[in-house]
Amino acid sequence: MASLIRTFLPVCLLAAAAVSACGPKAVRGDDVAGLDDQAMSTGLDKRDLQKMLHENMQALQSSAVVQRWQKEDRPAVSVIPLRNETSEHIDGVLDALLSDIETTLVNAGHVRVISMEQQPQLVEEIKRQYAGAFDPSQVAKWGKQIGSRYIVTGKVYSADEKQADERRVQYFMFVQVLDVETGEVLFQHKTSVTKALI
């Protein structure tokens, strides 16, 4: 019996330790150092969005279009959904980015932001239209419908490659400012983020 216990005790202890370490537990991002830094998939996460937002907004702030807005005494601007041209289902994340862009524009104070949150049907209509080829005249129509002078929008593309032991997705985000009257692109900037499973 004693030899049996000697044989099995270490195995049981090891198994117990392994089992107790296996169960997931809820944690708070602020309590676990680096939790937000860890990439968990090839999708876009908070850190990727912050990087893209920061780079795009910084480029926008120093662009000619902001000087134009300052001269026009806070023109009305709307931010409409970004087109998802990637191989990942990231539409929800892109909608979150849209709200971030609105927030940054509101706080910068150059423009009056007309939120699309009050017009969910139009948002759905815009998303449906994105199924087809990009049509600037359509953007002008939406701008007039919303009552905006300018539209901020964009598109995200991806280059997605898979190897035997790796999958890499490179995201390229283009943010644009369009003149509703003319459909002219007044500002465009690209940022990129790479995610991978290796």
Site membership for other proteins, residue 194 (CB under 8 A): no
Stretch that binds other proteins, among 5-13, 45-53, 136-144, 173-181 (CB under 8 A): 5-13
Neighbours of 148 (CB within 10 A): 23
Site track for other proteins across 30-59, x = CB under 8 A: -----------x------------------
Question: How far is residue 75's CA from residue 97's CA, in Å, rounded to a whole number?
Answer: 22
CB of 4 to other proteins, least distance (A): 9
From 45, 91, 95, 100, residue interacting with other proteins (rule: CB under 8 A): 91
Stretch that binds other proteins, among 64-72, 86-94, 142-150, 187-195 (CB under 8 A): 86-94
Question: How far is residue 28's CA from residue 18's CA, in Å, rounded to a whole number?
Answer: 24
Report which of 153, 139, 156 is spatially closest to residue 187, judged by C-alpha positions.
153
Site membership for other proteins, residue 163 (CB under 8 A): yes
From 161, 181, 182, 194, residue interacting with other proteins (rule: CB under 8 A): 161
Stretch that binds other proteins, among 30-38, 63-71, 96-104, 126-134 (CB under 8 A): 126-134
Calculate the alpha carbon distances from 140 to 106, 150, 171 in Å.
22, 9, 27
Q: Residues interacting with other proteins, by CB under 8 A? A: 7-8, 11, 24, 41, 84-89, 91, 127, 130-133, 158, 160-167, 197-198
